Amino acid sequence: MKISKEDVEHMAHLARLEVDDSLVEKLSTQVSGILDYIDILKNADVSGVPLASGAALQTNVFRQDKVEPSPGPSVTLTNAPDRDDDFYTVPKVVG
């Protein structure tokens, strides 16, 4: 599948990435190659290959809830960049 330079620029815009003009052609070629390889993999014969095991095949992976005491603000706010007594201080985001 051929990916044009415009496609790369559009994807970069959607991802809010700045892509240097000198890299657009290279990325176009690389993404096209990746998609071509995926097309090859789509045609691979996997009949007779057992399903892989993993988290996707597990049924109950939840743990039981366990009530534990809070460590308190002295521990939880240790790495806070700015704080006011027992609270995080953050920049105002609403005008």
Domain assignment present for 64 = no
Task: Please write the tens of the pLDDT for every residue from 49-60.
Answer: 887 766 666 677
Residue 61: partners with Cβ closer than 8 Å, 6 or more residues away: 55
Domain assignment present for 25 = yes
pLDDT value for 60 = 74
Q: Is the model's pLDDT at 64 over the cut of 90?
A: no
When the pLDDT of each residue in the chain is averaged and rounded to a whole number, the result is: 88
What domain count does the chain have?
1
Domain assignment present for 26 = yes
Domain assignment present for 60 = no
Confidence of residue 5 (pLDDT cuts 50, 70, 90): very high
Residue 11 neighbours by CB distance under 10 Å? 14
The CA distance from 36 to 43, in Å, is 12
Phi-psi category of residue 60: left, alpha or beta, with phi > 0 → left and psi -120 to 50 → alpha: beta
pLDDT value for 9 = 94
Domain assignment present for 16 = yes
The CA distance from 28 to 21, in Å, is 11
Residue the block writes with tokens 């996707």 = 56
The stretch 23-44 carries a mean pLDDT of: 94
Confidence of residue 30 (pLDDT cuts 50, 70, 90): very high
pLDDT value for 62 = 81
Provide the residue range defining the domain that includes 28. Answer: 5-42
Domain assignment present for 54 = no
